Chain A
Amino acid sequence: MFADLPLLSLVIWLPIFGGLIVLAVGDRDPWGARPVALIISVITFILSIFLYTGFDTTTAAMQFAESASWIEAFNIRYALGVDGISMPLIILTTFIVILVILAGWKVIKFRVSQYMAAFLIMEGLMNGVFASLDAILFYVFWEGMLIPMFLIIGIWGGPNRVYATIKFFLYTFLGSVFMLVALIYLYFQAGSFDILAFHAVKLTMQEQILIFIAFLLAFAVKVPMWPVHTWLPDAHVEAPTGGSVILAAIMLKIGGYGFLRFSLPIAPDASHALDWLMIGLSLIAVVYIGFVALVQQDMKKLIAYSSIAHMGFVTLGFFISFMIFESTGSYSGSALAMEGGIVQMVSHGFISAAMFLCVGVMYDRMHSRLINDYGGAVNSMPIFAAFMVFFAMSNAGLPGTSGFVGEFMVILASFKANFWIAFLAATTLILGAAYTLWMVKRVVFGKITNEKVAEMSDVTGREFFILGTLAVTVLALGVWPDPLVDVLHVTVDNLLQHVAQSKL
């Protein structure tokens, strides 16, 4: 029965209209907005599950496709569809939003309905980004997404939120302007805004390079890649917990998704020609940012830098295939790398969400994010400490947690390209453990350092549920990642075949 429903439209518009309803309900009844928002997010999540159960893993074609004319004059269509790459990201989004709404349940005390509505609208827009098959539709969702995030940081954020929001907005907006130019150029070549038609467009090397760079500016900011990453730590520090979670868990993935959906298939030769740049930036993310993360004093900044380092594996996995081909004469290993990158995106969604939620739990009690203000939290919060250590270990890529899977796949594959690439990538084993566990040592372990820590109460039932759900997910994906990887195969193979063919 669900197969007949326009599932993708539902997961986009249900939260958006739901958000408007929540806004309409307003704060007159102080408890009104929360349950409504929760119910809407849960229904959306359930609907998205049917995308997984109804997914056909044997075809690379877009599934659950919908198409309707939108602006006929420019041949712009309302076209939706998902493949193995976008489907898991939509489920990730719907899942995380539930936790975000629960996390804000009590902490947010003013403008509750607006807060909840912002996240629901955000959810619909992000799903829209992943599901769009029309470039203009994609662009509208892409830019629309900035607005609720801008408001979330700007209204519920920390003391320095104005600087952070403007930096965030300008950075991301600047990048996307170039993308818009590229999209319009492609429209003139393809005759429509159909993204799949873009893939087939023949382009010269010069065109490809320019288009690749235009997309790179947009996506690199989102991922974020060095050196356009400095907005992220600021945005995270000022954002409320929920905002950080959405930012880290999903918005960063949109950059990675963009490379797979636009850069690689539209400009394969440019991707090949500039792969050294992408690999170099990815390794800088792993090594340079790893060292920077080590010395952070603010927990949120530390996790923000850790996110950048982890996203380095995503871009490394996506762009290593050309070098594997040059080194070994075959593309064998490329799919391992690319699937590893995608797994890393999904896994990082869960783990970074969990890390930011952990910091949120402490922040709600102490109103500080500074590592030095803590010490010995395990004494007053033993259950929380167990969660924190678990997620820290996942962040450090411990086997058995999802954090291991993607990094493992990418490192194994990049060894085929070049020993030193794998060598630098594998330093994450040491650096990741160093910055994460050193923080844990100073925050969680040790004697109680001050009275405030002694007074901290352990996790509430709601917090336990949120962290427990994430822990189970991280563990399940680490012990048995095949259900996730299985849906990627055909799509990734198809993409790699496409990328391997020169457009020149």
Chain B
Amino acid sequence: MQNLFLTIALAPLVGSILAGLFGKQIGRTASHWVTISGVAVSCALSFYVMKLFLIDGMASYNESVYTWLVSDGIKFEVGFLVDKLTAIMLVVVTFVSLMVHIYTIGYMKDDPGYQRFFSYIALFTFSMLMLVMANNFMQLFFGWEAVGLVSYLLIGFWYTRDTAIFANLKAFLVNRVGDFGFLLGIAAVLMYTGSLDYATVFAKIPGLTETTMQIFPGVDWSVITVMGILLFVGAMGKSAQVPLHVWLPDSMEGPTPISALIHAATMVTAGIFMVARMSPIYEFTTTALTFILFIGAVTALFMGFLGLIQNDIKRVVAYSTLSQLGYMTVALGASAYSAAIFHLMTHAFFKALLFLGAGAVIIAMHHEQDMRKMGGLRKYMPITYITSLIGSLALIGFPGFAGFFSKDTIIEAVHLSTTLDHATWVHTFAYYAILAGVFITALYSFRMFFLVFHGKERMDDHTREHLHECSAVVTVPLILLAIPSVVAGYFLGDVVFGDYFGDAIMFSESKNVIGMLGEDYHGIVGFIQHGIMGPAFWLALAGLFTAWFIYMKRPDIADTAKQKLGFLHKLLDNKYYMDDLYIKGFAAGGRLLGKGLWKQGDVNVIDGLMVNGSAAVINWFAGVARVVQTGHLYHYAFAMILGLLGLLSWFILGA
């Protein structure tokens, strides 16, 4: 069994090493073959693992591979925990990764860094697999930072672009702020449970409900709440939740395949996965869950607004990703972990599809990303058009498409949570935020869709003449992703409401919204019928219709609105001034502080006053001493006599 899991993790690593270190020797074709084979092996074996769970009824696997180090009686190990939660992540990660690998052959075919790119994405796949298969916090942190590293390398892949190397540094540092909290969370876990092994930690958590600690003197905090919030700070970085979201839109500087793989489907969902994995901790802290709910709701709604005014096709999808990550976070905050994971899965498929579709458009448009220069692409790119439509419908939660099932479950779950005993205003706010978000989602999604595929052809003639559908390495992944973007939703009953997750996710009785929803669940058809009666469906339709009306029927409305609501537009255009706060505030402030400490502290006080100052004092003494040392014998003789007199009188008087 261990060999199976080792192979899943290591196969992409082998591919990555071969393509990375020997890419020049083995050439371009061999480089993509070794990495694709590696990921294909992982993907096939991941489906096999899924089969072992579903058909053969395999029990969870939890074993260590080797001991990283032992210190102070604490064992830090590298090991695998593979249960059904892991299995679903394995399938999603390896499948999307495989699609992206194949797609890359087409997208990067003229790029001089071809081998390097394949090496990076295979390395990413390895890191992500280590993250989801971890059975302890140490390895989780390993994977966590390793995916951050690859993300850094890939955002800055085109390293001569100033915007790219700005974006990757920004991404790494903002993520490090999250990791800072995450590491402290791990330290809290170790302090109060004495272990970093999931199973041991989870077993000890129920015994800690009464334990408190003081961070600020006089204020007692439940240690579980402290752990929960600190760990979630890590998730806020990785899963780009407000206010640590600022790196994700800029990460679009990377090549589109990695926007699909890393910044939409997999890496950014690591935070969601982590919180679901830690459900045995979070279920004991309503405070942390409410905090999560609030952050998620803010992200879901306010990031959606930003998607409305973007003109870069990738940035629209990026803000949509932020908003959808907010939905997942909201689900976590409402204790609907399985709904969050289910949305993670459907989102991985349809968002990867949308990104790759956007990438196909970008290829066809000769790397033009401005939607104002597109339009009418439908007839030139039929496969891209159809698959993007499927992706968009899935994203807005149109009944029958995957996103409908996952998103509606989240909305229902949050709605239900407002009626529970521990519900606060945050729950109500979250419910209305994600409901409003549905309208916004439909509006920006179809704004993009209409601007790109319908309407007037606004590109220049040269581009128009060369417009054509992309090659099979691009379209086949689109088609293969379009399929689960529809059908993945039909597993709702089994994955979310059934007993799929078993022990992998914990629910406490009082918060078990999914269990309560499950009682009313009577199959897919009933769910669709119920959904059509609910407000979410009508909001989505309204959004779709509004987009059609504004961008197809009356384009003047958009301009009028822009002028009338100038201040609002400015606020959105400046991304709520968050970037300014970070760059002009924190980053510039940090440099200023550094300069102050250096010039004032090191140079002036320590070196100037203490070091060179003491040298000056010595110099002065030496000068004085020089005066005394005249070289005249009678001066010395006189001094000796004075000294003798002094000593004598001291002896006599002292005795």
Contact = CB atoms under 8 A, between A and B. Distances in A.
B159 A482 contact: no
25 contacts: A230-B602, A230-B607, A292-B594, A292-B598, A295-B595, A332-B73, A333-B72, A340-B71, A400-B145, A411-B184, A412-B186, A412-B190, A415-B184, A419-B184, A419-B213, A419-B215, A426-B184, A429-B179, A430-B173, A433-B176, A441-B166, A444-B159, A447-B160, A447-B162, A482-B68
A147 to B, nearest CB: 22
Contact of B72 (A332, A399, A415, A433): A332
Given A415-B188, A426-B183, A481-B68, A167 B611 contact: yes
A415 B190 contact: yes
A189 B607 CA distance: 38
9 closest A-B pairs (Cβ-Cβ)? A415-B187, A291-B594, A336-B72, A295-B594, A335-B72, A294-B594, A445-B165, A399-B142, A292-B598
Contacts of B153: 389
A330 B378 CA distance: 70
Interface of A: 167, 171, 227, 230, 288, 291-296, 328, 332-336, 339-340, 376, 378-379, 389, 393, 398-400, 404-405, 408-409, 411-416, 419-420, 422-423, 426-427, 429-430, 433-434, 437-438, 441, 444-447, 479-482, 485-486, 489
Nearest to B587: A434
B156 A433 contact: no
B183 A411 contact: yes
Nearest to A339: B71
Contacts of A479: 68
A171 B141 CA distance: 41
Q: Secondary structure at chain A's binding surface: helix, strand, loop or mixed?
A: helix
Nearest to A296: B598
A294 B184 contact: no
Contacts of A446: 159-160, 162, 165
Most A-side CB within 10 Å, residue of B69, B177, B180, B184: B69
Contacts, number: 140
A433 B148 CA distance: 12
A292 B160 contact: no
Interface string B609-642: 0110000000000000000000000000000000
A430 B177 contact: yes
Interface string B584-598: 000000110111011
A412 B162 CA distance: 37
Contacts of B184: 411, 415, 419, 422-423, 426
Contacts of A336: 71-72, 74
A88 B318 CA distance: 49
B560 interface: no
A379 B594 contact: no
A252 B361 CA distance: 57
Contacts of A414: 187
Nearest to B179: A429
A486 B555 CA distance: 71
A133 B482 CA distance: 72
A430 B598 contact: no
A230 B169 CA distance: 29
A271 to B, nearest CB: 19
Interface string B171-194: 011001101100110111011000
Most A-side CB within 10 Å, residue of B145, B149, B186, B594: B594
A244 B379 CA distance: 65
B178 to A, nearest CB: 10
B601 interface: yes
Given A292-B594, A294-B590, A411 B187 contact: yes
Interface string B259-294: 000000000000000000000000000000000000
B70 A291 contact: no
